[in-house]
Amino acid sequence: MSGTVIAVVLGASRLGAFVKSVTGMGYPVIAIPLITLVLGIEDAVIIVAFPNLAANVALCFGARGGRAESRDIGRLLVWGIVGAVIGTFALVRVPETPLLVLLAVTVAAFVVNYVRSPQLRIAPATSHRWSPAVGLGAG
């Protein structure tokens, strides 16, 4: 790996970590597209996976007092694991171009939705009904 590639990876990780520290989300949304520019989507996902997991574990530990207020977390977790397994196989089998398009559409949809409704709240019945699909897609 060249010095330029390492600098891009570290810069993207720092920027993503900064956004996550301010908003509680955003590390993979920022870091993966930037790292993809120099390494490809497979490497970007692998590079971001472990630091993002560590950050999420730390956030969960810090916010464990609010666990009783969360809805459908078990369903999201189970379906997220299923989605992660399917996504891992797809990542090595599907051509890179459709994955890059899907990544760009997902990031754009996230940004547009967040700008339009930063305080978006979903009704309990709606979240329960859609939690398997959301967990599968997120995985």
What is the per-residue pLDDT across 79-136, written as a single tens digit (0 to 9) for each?
988 988 888 888 778 887 888 888 788 878 888 888 888 787 778 888 888 888 888 8
Please give the Cα distance from 8 to 34 (Å, whole number): 8
Please give the Cα distance from 20 to 25 (Å, whole number): 4
Identify the pLDDT of residue 133: 85
Identify the pLDDT of residue 76: 83
Identify the pLDDT of residue 40: 85
Identify the pLDDT of residue 16: 86
CA atoms within 13 A on the CB side of 89: 5
Q: pLDDT tens-digit profile of 9-51?
A: 889 988 888 887 777 677 888 888 889 888 888 888 889 888 8
